[in-house]
Structure 1
Amino acid sequence: MNLKKIISIAAIVVISGLLIYGFILVRQIFAVNTKFSEKEIYVHIPTDATYATAKAIIATYVEDMDRFELVASKRNYPENVKSGRFLFTKGMSSYDLVKSLRQNVPVKLAFNNQERLENFAGRISSQIEADSISLIKTIKDSVFMAENGFNEETVFAMFIPNTYEFYWDTSAVKFRDKMIKEYRKFWTDERVAKAKLQGLTPVEATILASIVHKESVKKDERPRIAGVYLNRMRIAMPLQADPTVIYALKKKSNNFDQVIKRVFYNDLTMSSPYNTYVNIGLPPGPIAMPDITAMEAVLNPEKNDFIYFCASVERFGYHEFAATYAEHTVNAKKYSDWINSQGVKR
């Protein structure tokens, strides 16, 4: 066999070997390598995670880790682990998985109708990496509160209910700083001027809005209720808002999970800065997170002569309003008789 033929055979062998190796390599890179049944799942890699940490998390969803690690190594993933929230879809290859681990997917973070900061922090911590303790500690930082005109009772007024976009690995500080920016964005010069026209600061407007929010779920009625409370404030009459008493009862028992449907006469005399039956003016902080309609109701209240109102027994969810105590007594008796007939104890 001449040299030329030997070289030709050797070349064929080498090329065949390379083709086989290439085929195996392509298969390892692009073959399906997931083992979860869901259509898609999100993988969370914590801040400062090492490759070993990330690998342990990823292994739950990967069929063959040797194939994954081969691709990860060739694409320098071990040296460039990113924290965040990453989308894996069923049927992804190792190549697709590594590519996905470079694309941090934002969280659509929504919140509303929270009663206090602790509940709010718990809800937020279920959606981003920061835990509730670090969130509360950061939000209640004394320097931060002083710089922004809050105290421990009023700092809850900072949060404007909406849907926001965050990365999952957002820290407590970054979350707080984003929220104060959104607060300043909401309180435009026009809104500040409207609050001032009602004799309120932005924080005071939020506190009153929290009462209006809790008083009625009917958005079209909220401007009228806001008007009544502002009328009471102008004549230095106690607000006499049942939702503040309910809040005070929950705060006293430290049980915000309880449902209180009825306020009794004895409750109205309890000692609490949140009891607006015994204290004139606004409570020291919001009793809930008011939504935008409640805020706008306070900033754009109905001008009326009403001083009193109570729940209606004819239009459930709405209220009956009165300008005199005599009129109110009639309305209140109707409601009292009805609620007694329903056997509501608390």
Structure 2
Amino acid sequence: MILMVACVGILGAFLAFDTIPAQARKVYGQPSAGLGLFDRAWYGAQLLLNQSKLLVPVGEGAQQPFIIQSGESVNSVAYRLEENGLVRDAGAFRLYMIYAGMDQTMRAGIYTLNPGMIPMDIAGIIQNPTSQEVTFVILPGWRVEEIANLLPTSGLSVTPDEFLALIRNPAGLSLPEGLEPGANLEGFLAPGEYQLRRDISVENLVQTFLDRFSSELTPDMLAGFERQGLNLPEAVTLASIVEKEGVVDDERPMIASVFYNRMQAGMNLDSDPTVQYALGYNAAQQTWWTNPLSLDDLKTDSPFNTYVYNGLPPHPICNPGLTALQAVAYPAQSPYYYFRARCDGTGTHAFAKTYEEHVQNACP
């Protein structure tokens, strides 16, 4: 009798070590190669008892950033996920991570998660931060085509064509106050570094750039534009010229003063970057900013060419940085009407009151 009971027990144990792992594999996939026979059965049994905590999302909710620190333990991560309402049960989540071997492979990084995700899927997501977000950088002075050219290698799913189409016809977007509906968005995409989801839509991408632009415009800056007699589109257009003309930030208020002085005197702005913008892409130089410009280039018939047409161009020629916008809001007070690059390679400029002085400032 005792022998029979022992045999039944051994048979039951054998079946448990055989059937439970098999059932767990069907639901949770292959276990970690580091688990022994007993551990596979034990973890498999626990996971099968906790299916509702691992296969059903917590519920609806907004996306939120979740940061895993370097060297953080699976216990800490599981606890914080439950605390943030992203998984139902930290213990069950930890069991699955160990069962799948993911406790050894999760990586530090910034993730975008929401309560509508299945906990098992969250476990997979936190294995690779690059699957969620990418860093995207817009440099001050880039025109929209230069931003578009970066998209194919950025890791974002947005294509250059759909990006440029939305820039030129921004239907459905929330525009900066003072910008007319349907206006070209050149100039209003704030330079800087962005952390973006790889699957971001073109609408959300452009809206992100616009929102940062709006957030950087202070009431004092807007009042400064108004004091200079400019509305927002005009101020950004002038700032885009100041951005391309200036190299040293400290000089930009002085450069802005030159353009204000010329406009007040009824003079053309005579800005080389506006000609470069009008010319467009230079295939031979492989750049959007032709340099040097020829005398024929300066005669290009385009409303953006400020050598030919008086006043500001129809819209900005690039996306200016904050220092250029501030220079337009708070220009220097100067008697100058001309400036040209110095010959010392510093990127600074020599300023002049008269054309004769301007000619004398030319490099030998």
Q: TM-score, normalised by structure 1?
A: 0.70
Other-structure match for 1:106? 133
Query: Structure 1's 276 and 325: CA in aligned 2 closer, same or farther, altered over 3 A?
Result: same
Other-structure match for 1:329? 359
Structure 1 counterpart of 2:262, which letter?
R
State how 1:180-259 maps to structure 2 within 5 Å: 180-250=210-280, 257=287
Query: Structure 1's 251 and 76: CA in aligned 2 closer, same or farther, altered over 3 A?
Result: same
The one of 3, 20, 30 aligned to 2:32: 30
Distance (Å, rounded) in 1 between the aligned partners of 2:123 and 2:330: 48
Unaligned runs of 5+ in 2: 35-47, 57-66, 68-97, 106-120
Structure having greater relative contact order (Cα 8 Å, sep ≥ 6): 1
CA contact under 8 A between 1:250 and 1:256: conserved in structure 2?
no
Superimposed CA distance per residue, residues 195-238 of structure 1 (whole angstroms, 9 cap, x where no aligned partner): 11122122222211211111121112111111111111111111
Superimposed CA distance per residue, residues 316-338 of structure 1 (whole angstroms, 9 cap, x where no aligned partner): 31111111222112113xx2x4x
Distance (Å, rounded) in 1 between the aligned partners of 2:247 and 2:175: 34
SS class of match (1:320): strand
SS class of match (2:166): helix
Shift of 1:115: 3.6
The one of 145, 148, 151 aligned to 1:121: 148
SS class of match (2:361): helix
SS class of match (1:262): coil
Matched, 1:139 2:167: yes
Shift of 1:305: 0.6
Shift of 1:16: 4.1
Distance (Å, rounded) in 2 between the aligned partners of 1:296 and 1:254: 35
Query: Structure 1's 253 and 234: CA in aligned 2 closer, same or farther, altered over 3 A?
Result: farther
SS class of match (1:248): helix
Shift of 1:5: 2.1
CA contact under 8 A between 2:171 and 2:182: conserved in structure 1?
no
CA contact under 8 A between 1:31 and 1:93: conserved in structure 2?
no
Other-structure match for 2:13? 15
CA contact under 8 A between 2:187 and 2:317: conserved in structure 1?
no
Provide the aligned C-alpha RMSD in A.
Answer: 4.2
Query: Structure 1's 147 and 328: CA in aligned 2 closer, same or farther, altered over 3 A?
Result: closer
Q: Give the share of equivalent positions with the same residue, in percent.
A: 29
Shift of 1:143: 4.1
State how 1:266-345 maps to structure 2 within 5 Å: 266-314=296-344, 316-332=346-362, 335=363, 337=364
Structure 2 counterpart of 1:198, which letter?
Q
Superimposed CA distance per residue, residues 269-311 of structure 1 (whole angstroms, 9 cap, x where no aligned partner): 2211111111111111222221222222222211111111111
SS class of match (2:266): coil
CA contact under 8 A between 2:247 and 2:347: conserved in structure 1?
yes
Count of matched residue positions in the alignment of Structure 1 and Structure 2: 291
Q: TM-score, normalised by structure 2?
A: 0.67
- Identify which range, 261-270 or 249-258, moves more after superposition: 249-258
Shift of 1:259: 5.6
Distance (Å, rounded) in 1 between the aligned partners of 2:226 and 2:286: 32
Structure 2 counterpart of 1:101, which letter?
G
Shift of 1:261: 2.6
